[in-house]
């Protein structure tokens, strides 16, 4: 069992800083997802942990051992990590079963046992009927599934996955999601999983690291990221979040709520317990937190721009009267009859005062 610590890692490519003072402590047996916009350094971080790149400064520790630093680089094959990367190639001269069983062969597993474990792993990814095929005769998605099976069969104590489900169709994705969950429960391997799919990350991960511009913005449990984003980047990034300016923040009750002015209407929102009084701040909300109020006294005034039909509900696009430059939207049921040009009243059901200024 392995815990992984990244300590103050920086990595430059041709004078461009790609990882900037990244620290991350992944506990033994933890499932961690990495989310962030394209180019923020996710893959580079995984390649450093795998041993395919060397950092400019910092150290990587597996348990108490330093496995990588600018002076030291334990070779990838000595790290005992399973790797499923985008485009991580299968060996072209081996058939599917040989690819899956190769690590077991190297580890001295008998051929009967190897065959059993390889076919088991292939069945897990619905590829048992392709055991004799050459990788060249498989689709991209099928190759990805074989790469996964190869990783599962080797039963590593650390698994690094870079968008392992990206090439799969929606049904296979759902069943592979369950498979990852089961695999993790069974083996308690430490897993680091890059994905662009937030719902996948939320469903699978114990904790999620949100990255931006080569830095870790927040590393927290999924519900904490969603409900208590630390800064504006995380607030906007997670769950299509919106950031609204608020004024005259007053401490509320002891439970941590505060009272703020949102576009001319006073509302209670959540905040850190030690949140100070402020003249101005920002709150993070999600589209479902904004509701059509029943009367003008219950919300802030806004003008409806347009309505979009969304099947189960309508999406009402509007601009707050106090901030006409801001375009927002909320979901309303079909029985609320609103049209473009109407004045509506909008209340904020839930909001969170973003603690770190932009
Ligand atoms: N070998 C390399 N040489 C030069 N620049 C590189 C190299 N590898 C990555 N980069 C650059 O480093 C930055 C981070 O890349 P990385 O692949 O880690 O991002 P990412 O977050 O995984 O992106 P994506 O989500 O698109 O896969 C990018 O600007 C990329 O162009």
Q: Is residue 320 over pLDDT 90?
A: yes
The confidence band for 72, taking pLDDT boundaries of 50, 70 and 90, is very high
The whole-number average pLDDT for the span 229-258 is 90
65 forms bridges with which residues in the sheet?
62
Say how many Å lie between the CA of residue 162 and the centre of ligand 1: 13
Span between the terminal Cα atoms of the chain, in Å: 39
What is the pLDDT at residue 86?
66
The whole-number average pLDDT for the span 320-347 is 93
The mean pLDDT of the chain is 91
Closest C-alpha to 209, from 4, 1, 2: 4
Where does ligand 1 bind, in terms of residues with CB under 6 Å?
A: 13-14, 18, 36, 38-44
Residue 204 makes CB contacts below 8 A (sequence gap 6+) with 31, 33, 177, 180, 181, 184, 193
Tokens linked to 355: 């603690």
The whole-number average pLDDT for the span 93-110 is 90
What is the pLDDT at residue 87?
63
Q: Which residues of 95-132 are buried (b: 16+ CB within 10 A; e: fewer)?
A: bbbbbbbbbbeeeebeeeebbebbbebbebbebbebbe
Closest C-alpha to 48, from 27, 70, 15, 31: 70
**Whose Cα sits closest to atom 30 in ligand 1?**
39
Lowest average pLDDT, out of 20-24, 51-55, 248-252, goes to: 248-252
pLDDT tens digits, one per residue of 143-184: 878 988 898 888 888 999 998 887 778 887 887 788 778 878
Mutate to test the pocket of ligand 1, among 13, 20, 52 (most ligand atoms within 8 A of CB): 13
Tokens linked to 74: 């334990």
Domains identified in the chain and CATH numbers: 4-227 (3.40.50.300), 242-353 (2.40.50.140)
């Amino acid at each position: 069992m392995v815990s992984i610590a990244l300590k103050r890692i920086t990595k430059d490519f041709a004078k461009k800083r790609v990882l900037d003072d990244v620290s991350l402590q992944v506990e033994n047996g933890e499932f961690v997802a990495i989310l962030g916009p394209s180019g923020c350094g996710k893959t580079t971080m995984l390649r450093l942990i795998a041993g395919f790149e060397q950092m400019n400064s910092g150290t990587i520790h597996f348990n108490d051992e330093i496995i990588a630093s600018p002076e030291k680089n334990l070779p990838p094959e000595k790290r005992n990590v399973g790797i499923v990367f985008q485009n991580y190639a299968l060996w072209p001269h081996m058939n599917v079963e040989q690819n899956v069983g190769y690590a077991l062969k190297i580890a001295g597993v008998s051929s009967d046992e190897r065959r059993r474990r390889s076919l088991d792993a292939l069945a897990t990814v619905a590829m048992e009927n392709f055991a004799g095929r050459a990788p060249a005769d498989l689709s991209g998605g099928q190759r990805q599934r074989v790469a996964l099976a190869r990783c599962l069969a080797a039963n590593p104590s650390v698994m690094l996955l870079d968008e392992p489900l990206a090439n799969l169709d929606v049904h296979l994705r759902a069943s592979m999601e369950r498979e990852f969950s089961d695999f993790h429960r069974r083996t308690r391997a430490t897993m680091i999983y890059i994905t662009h799919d937030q719902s996948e990350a939320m469903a699978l991960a114990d904790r999620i690291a949100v990255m931006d511009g080569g830095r870790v913005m927040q590393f927290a449990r999924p519900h904490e990221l969603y409900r208590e984003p630390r800064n504006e980047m995380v607030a906007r990034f997670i769950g299509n979040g919106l950031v609204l300016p608020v004024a005259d923040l007053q401490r509320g009750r002891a439970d941590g709520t505060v009272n703020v002015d949102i576009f001319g209407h006073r509302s209670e929102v959540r905040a850190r317990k030690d949140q100070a009084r402020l003249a101005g701040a920002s709150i993070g909300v999600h589209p479902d937190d904004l509701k059509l109020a029943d009367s003008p006294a219950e919300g802030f005034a806004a003008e409806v721009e347009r309505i979009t039909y969304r099947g189960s509900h309508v999406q009402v696009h509007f601009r707050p009267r106090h901030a006409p430059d801001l375009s927002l939207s909320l979901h309303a049921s079909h029985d609320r009859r609103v049209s473009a040009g109407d004045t509506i009243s909008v209340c904020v059901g839930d909001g969170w005062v973003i603690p770190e200024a932009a």
